[in-house]
Amino acid sequence: MNFDSRKYVFIVIFLFIGVLYISKLFYMQVIDDTWSLRAQVIAEKRRLITPPRAVVFDRFGKKIVANRTYYNLMMVENNIVDLDTVAFAKLIGWTKEEVKQRFIDIVANEGEYYNRHMGKMDPNYRPYRSYPFIKELTSDEMVKIAPYLENYKGFYKEVTSMRDYPYGTGANILGYLSEVNQNEIDKDAFYKAGSRIGRSGIERFYEKDFRGTKGVKYIITSALSATIGSFEDGKYDTTAVQADPITLGLDVLLQGYGEKLLKNKRGCIVAIEPSTGEILALVSSPNYDPNLLVGNRKIKENYPKLLENEDKPLFPRPLASEYMPGSTFKLLQSLIGLQEKVIDENTGFPCNKSVVGCHNHPSAQSVTDAVKMSCNPYFYALTRRIIQQGKKSNDNEDAELGLDIWSKYMHSFGLGKSLKTDITGLRPGLIPTPKYYDHWYGHHNWKFSTIRSISIGQGEVQVTPLQLANMAAIMANRGWYYTPHFVKSFGEKGPKEEYIIKHKTLVDRQHFDPVVEGMRRVVYEPGGTARRARVDSVVVCGKTGTVENYRGSLKLRNHSVFIAFAPMDKPKIAISVFIENAGGGGGTWAAPIASLMIEQYLKGKVKPSAKEKRILDAILLQKER
């Protein structure tokens, strides 16, 4: 090959290399932004500042959820110099082996990613980034460490915050927080590894209202990750903004008193302000101190114990337990019968025990007396008139039509559907419809005699304690309700719009008066079933329920149930109390508990009495039989 030929070969090779080099630069700088982003990360860091979560107050301004300062001991591996592992382990109260293992765990916990340029899996861990070596140190713990950190290059403290519950009550309402998982990080850019999110209660339901707005601080760092200064003197920085304080309708002292009354008992209490639908107390028992689930360390220690506890303290009984309502259901049967004109307020029925069992009392001569005496045969006859109105000649067809009418009334009272309140975990209960019985018996193969147990709140009917309390609020309001809810106001904005919508039942206002009078007589007249529900100088209107309790064919102790509102005029509190496996009737346990709660709320304190001592001393957490 002559010289000229070789010259052209070299020119072509250099041109090819130049084109290849320029193409790669073009790809890296214009098409693939990986390298430019990496260079930007090295030179300039964008730090997101997470504000503390919103604080929470009760209806009287008592702070019930606060933020307490904690610390993370952070580390940057590249900045660690000649670490004396033995001395460092002694400082933080660990062993040398635990310190070494922690370094390994931090790398492992970051996981791996697929490096498409290198065609292999690479670790996400970066030695120039900061990672928490120890999380959630208390102030006392950090005080022992902080003075000596300057001797351990690469380690520094970071201020953080976690929840604090000054009153230690309302765990089933407030909920708890835990760290986000990768799926949650991928779905919402607000979160990063180590962020916390609401897992239950209002913390979960109102997560976005609690978390506030993140701030951003830009800093300039060296190639070795040392901070040089603020980028552009903070020109582009933004301030983190804490969310507005949240005020609940809850009375934290009433909540605490309810938890005290239900100690050593299995059941629940729900109290509502009838005029607003605000939940004053929602007690689930057995319960737990919400401070037990603050931070990863406590969650890891305590959550398994709570989960394995046979009394199920994590289970939200007022929201998720579905029970037969028993005789409390007779109030609604009375109202429907009056509205449908199958009875009037002076209609009487004989107390015929051959039809259905009953306790000894005179036959009721009016719906008011029937409510007072809780006469089973009366409500059997009344409900039969509602279901079998004679609109169809065939009894089965007539029952289908009547039950459809009946179920629509019940739905208007918020039964048979989940109340759209501001907490998760609600159950709808059950109001049987014609379709429901068709499923079990076949179309037109059933009539009232088949389903008669619904007349006294037994059988297929199921309600939650929250629905029972709302039923009491409807009686207090004489026919309407606001959806029960917890949040009274976000800052000064008030509640969500859906909680200021008035819901009206299908029963006219005038029909409530004789039934409410019957509720008053339940408490104050001879023959009433709730004399233990009386409160000095307050007129209480209530209705007891004794719910038969079966597991299969096995008869267990009865549940004790009571609903009430007070005062009779301009009511301020509506309440339901449900005590499981208590034995006795609704007047034995549930009614006195309700009266003590009413006294606490209306008077601000409870006068010591034999009634209170009896309830506080009672141990009803026993075997169901």
Tell me the pLDDT tens digit for each residue of 266-288.
Answer: 999 999 999 999 999 999 999 99
Q: Does residue 37 register a pLDDT over 90?
A: no
The residue type of 105 is D
Q: How far apart are CA 94 and CA 36, in angstroms?
A: 42
What is the pLDDT, as a whole number, of residue 9?
60
Q: Which residue has the higher pLDDT, 117 or 307?
A: 307
DSSP 161-223: EEEE-TT---HHHH--EEE--HHHHHH-TT--TT-EEE-SHHHHHTHHHHH-B-EEEEEEE-T
What is the pLDDT, as a whole number, of residue 8?
61
Please state the length of the chain: 625
Q: Out of 207, 230, 248, pick the residue that ends a domain.
A: 248
Residues 328 and 413 in one domain: yes
Angle at 331 between CA 327 and CA 337, to 5 degrees: 120
Q: How far apart are CA 503 and CA 481, in angstroms?
A: 5
Q: Of 53, 243, 252, which is closest to residue 166 (Cα–Cα)?
A: 252
Is residue 11 domain-resident?
A: no
End-to-end CA distance of the chain: 108
Residues 232 and 257 in one domain: no
Is residue 472 domain-resident?
A: yes
Average pLDDT score over residue span 461-470 = 97
What is the pLDDT, as a whole number, of residue 3?
52
Strands 112-115 and 120-123: antiparallel
Q: Which residue has the higher pLDDT, 24 or 471?
A: 471
Average pLDDT score over residue span 429-455 = 94
Distance of CA 38 to the CA centre of its chain: 43
Tell me the pLDDT tens digit for each residue of 2-14.
Answer: 555 666 665 666 6
Residues 161 and 278 in one domain: no
Q: Out of 248, 271, 292, pick the residue that ends a domain.
A: 248
| Beta carbons within 8 Å of 586's beta carbon, 6+ residues apart | 326, 327, 328, 529, 530, 543, 544, 545, 546, 560, 561, 562
Q: What is the mean pLDDT of the chain?
A: 88
Tell me the pLDDT tens digit for each residue of 585-594.
Answer: 899 999 999 9
Average pLDDT score over residue span 172-196 = 87
Place 624 in a pLDDT band, splitting at 50, 70 and 90: low
What is the pLDDT, as a whole number, of residue 213?
86
Find the CATH number of the domain harbouring 164: 3.90.1310.10
Q: Out of 199, 225, 248, pick the residue that ends a domain.
A: 248
Residues 508 and 607 in one domain: yes
Residues 223 and 266 in one domain: no
Q: How far apart are CA 504 and CA 612, in angstroms?
A: 37
Q: Which residue has the higher pLDDT, 227 or 197?
A: 197
Find the CATH number of the domain harbouring 271: 3.40.710.10
What is the pLDDT, as a whole number, of residue 558?
87
Q: At what angle do helices 434-441 and 395-412 cross, to 10 degrees?
A: 130
Q: How far apart are CA 332 and CA 322, in angstroms?
A: 18
Tell me the pLDDT tens digit for each residue of 524-566.
Answer: 999 899 999 999 999 999 999 988 776 767 777 889 999 999 9
Is residue 623 domain-resident?
A: no
On whether the CB atoms of residues 427 and 268 are closer than 8 A, the answer is: no
Count Cα atoms within 13 angstroms, Cβ side, for 416.
14
Is residue 23 domain-resident?
A: no
What is the pLDDT, as a whole number, of residue 358?
83
Q: How far apart are CA 456 and CA 460, in angstroms?
A: 11
The CA–CA distances, whole Å, from 561 to 334, 393, 475, 586 equal: 19, 39, 16, 5
DSSP 251-311: -HHHHHHHHHHTTT--EEEEEE-TTT-BEEEEEEES---GGGGSHHHHHHHHHHHHHH-TT
Strands 541-551 and 279-285: unpaired
Q: What percent of the chain has pLDDT over 70?
A: 88
Q: Does residue 386 register a pLDDT over 70?
A: yes
The CA–CA distances, whole Å, from 249 to 83, 339, 470, 527 equal: 54, 33, 15, 36
Is residue 32 domain-resident?
A: no
Average pLDDT score over residue span 385-398 = 94
Average pLDDT score over residue span 186-209 = 90
Place 334 in a pLDDT band, splitting at 50, 70 and 90: very high
Q: How far apart are CA 322 and CA 575, in angstroms?
A: 17
Tell me the pLDDT tens digit for each residue of 46-96.
Answer: 667 778 899 999 999 999 999 998 898 989 888 898 899 999 999 999 999
Residues 492 and 415 in one domain: yes
Is residue 17 domain-resident?
A: no
Average pLDDT score over residue span 506-511 = 98
Q: How far apart are CA 294 and CA 164, in angstroms?
A: 7
Total number of domains constituting the chain: 2
What is the pLDDT, as a whole number, of residue 225?
47
CB atoms within 10 A of CB 490: 17
Q: Does residue 487 register a pLDDT over 80?
A: yes
Q: How far apart are CA 209 and CA 191, in angstroms?
A: 15
**Domain range for residue 411?**
252-305+318-617
Using DSSP, state whether 560 is helix, strand or coil. Answer: strand
Average pLDDT score over residue span 139-156 = 91
Residues 222 and 265 in one domain: no
Average pLDDT score over residue span 200-218 = 88
- Alpha carbon dihedral 84, 86, 91, 93, in 10-degree steps, equals 150
Place 238 in a pLDDT band, splitting at 50, 70 and 90: confident
What is the pLDDT, as a whole number, of residue 2?
58
Helices (DSSP H) in 126-170: which residue ranges?
A: 139-145
Is residue 105 domain-resident?
A: yes
Is residue 62 domain-resident?
A: yes
Residues 398 and 471 in one domain: yes
Q: Which of the residue ranges 132-146, 230-244, 329-343 has the most confident prediction, judged by mean pLDDT?
A: 329-343
Angle at 314 between CA 65 and CA 564, to 5 degrees: 80
Residue 533 zone, left/alpha/beta (φ > 0; ψ -120 to 50; rest):
alpha
Residues 73 and 192 in one domain: yes
Residues 376 and 438 in one domain: yes
Tell me the pLDDT tens digit for each residue of 396-419.
Answer: 999 999 999 999 999 999 999 999
Residues 423 and 284 in one domain: yes
Residues 108 and 147 in one domain: yes
Place 20 in a pLDDT band, splitting at 50, 70 and 90: low
What is the pLDDT, as a whole number, of residue 10?
59
